[in-house]
Amino acid sequence: MDIDKTTYNDLSIFNHEEEYSVFHHINFTTSVGGKEWLRYMLSEPHSDLEKILSTQQIIKIIKSRLREWPISISNGTLMVLERFYDTALDRIPASNDYFNTWLYKVIHSVDYGLVRYSMTHFRDFIMGMHQISVVFDDPSAPARLQLLTSRIKTLLQHHQLQELLDKPKGKHFTIRENLYFGFFFREGFKDKIYELMDMYCQFDAWYSMAMAVEKHNLSFPEFIDSSDPFVKAKGLYHILLSEPVSYDVELSPSSNFLFLTGANMAGKSTFIKSVGVAVYLAQVGMGVPAAHLQLSLFDGILSNINVVDNIVKGESYFFNEVQRIKNTILKINDSRKWLVLIDELFKGTNVQDAMKCSSVVIEGLIKIKNSLFILSTHLYEIGEDLRKYSNISFKYFETTVRNDKLEFSYQLKDGISNDRLGYFILKSEKVVELLENL
């Protein structure tokens, strides 16, 4: 699925302030490596339905067995294993007879201390990986999951590891056992440990996605096999809001352009981002923030939400708006299925100019039937002239004034808003009074 850097930023999938990102909201990983695997998975939304459904099934399997997730492995466990290999140790003796083990402990006491400390963590790690290979060994699972569990089982087929697993948890290793297992892991199993660690981190990313589905009560979307773009959502909401208001929305070839109006702060941007994030998560293979979501497979998402000027290049806000629209038109005119999200088009020029520019852009975009569009605007006046186009639907967010205070219902309604609240807000915030008293 094609998503550019601007769209990732507009939808807050990743954010330089990480706590405000979608990534942060669904990150339940237990390891640094798992977090990086999760970041990679979220950076690769699929255009292949088989891959999407495969990821969905893996998440469902792990979600159904969350209570059996191995708690013996933590990020600290992995850090100890890495430190064991990164530290320069005097060679551990291959012979584990009494004399050699005693001599190493006495002469190389510092190194022995690290070996002794590490072996309990190696035991915890091997026990955890064994548990993963058993719990998630499912003949009905997707091939990716079966391949990983099978590989883990193959790597664990060493008599030294079986001896390690037979060691009761909590029971201390003897000097001989510490050096016996230390030699095995140091000299003969290093590459395989790193492979097992990477596989754990991949499982950790799937675990995080399953936890997000569980914790946030997400639902798995239903993909419709259609050559035309299609989205139908019930109870859709924005995943980053603690107390969201949900929406019902439907876009299809016969009504592929949603013209959205409403006052500032009424909820237009949140709604647009809600749709974008839901489609994005669906094509990652994740659950989505909706009671129910049906959609076709999309080839890409493009947004025009947070346009900025560029002082260094001498580019104005309006110029960059125009460039973004230009690049969008060039990209979506390729017969592929796109979801295009535009918020407050042409804010960087005067009202009359913006109205003319917006009308031209909208009347051009509605010719593209292979894509779905949501466009919000504060230029309500152009809406009436657009009613002649049957494939444009008109929605708005209502704002009411009660006791000299603004009230937002955040409910999506049919029609075009006629709210004019700029001066009211200016007055209610005492700006008018301050100016009069100058």
Tens-place pLDDT, residues 129-182: 999 999 999 999 999 999 999 999 999 999 999 999 888 777 788 999 999 999
Within 108-189, where are the H helices?
A: 109-135, 143-155, 159-166, 175-183
* Residue closest to 395 by CA, chosen among 382, 383, 407: 383
- Which pLDDT score is estimated for 311? 39
Residue 130 — φ and ψ, nearest 5°?
Answer: -60, -40
pLDDT at 398: 84
Question: Distance between alpha carbon 227 and the CA centroid of its chain, in Å?
Answer: 26
Contacts of 119 (CB under 8 A, 6+ apart): 173, 177, 178, 181, 182
CA atoms of 51 and 41, how far apart (whole Å): 12
Which residue shows structure tokens 């064994």? 130
Residue 263: the pLDDT is 78
- Locate the DSSP E strands across 209-296: 222-223, 231-236, 247-251, 257-262, 292-295
**What was the pLDDT predicted at 349?**
76
pLDDT value for 183: 94
The pLDDT, as a whole number, for residue 380 is: 85
Structure tokens at 180: 């016996």
Structure confidence at residue 426 (pLDDT):
66
Distance of CA 153 to the CA centre of its chain: 30
**Amino acid symbol at 340:** V
Low-confidence ranges of the chain (pLDDT < 70): 307-316, 403-404, 420-429, 432
pLDDT of 249-306, one tens digit each?
Answer: 999 999 999 999 987 777 899 999 999 999 999 999 999 999 999 999 999 999 998 7
Q: Where is 50: in which H helix or E strand?
A: helix 49-63
CATH class of 222-436: alpha beta
Q: Closest by alpha carbon to 221, among 302, 297, 133, 282?
A: 282
| pLDDT value of position 422 | 64
Query: Hey, where are the domains in the chain?
Result: 27-215, 222-436
pLDDT recorded at residue 98: 76
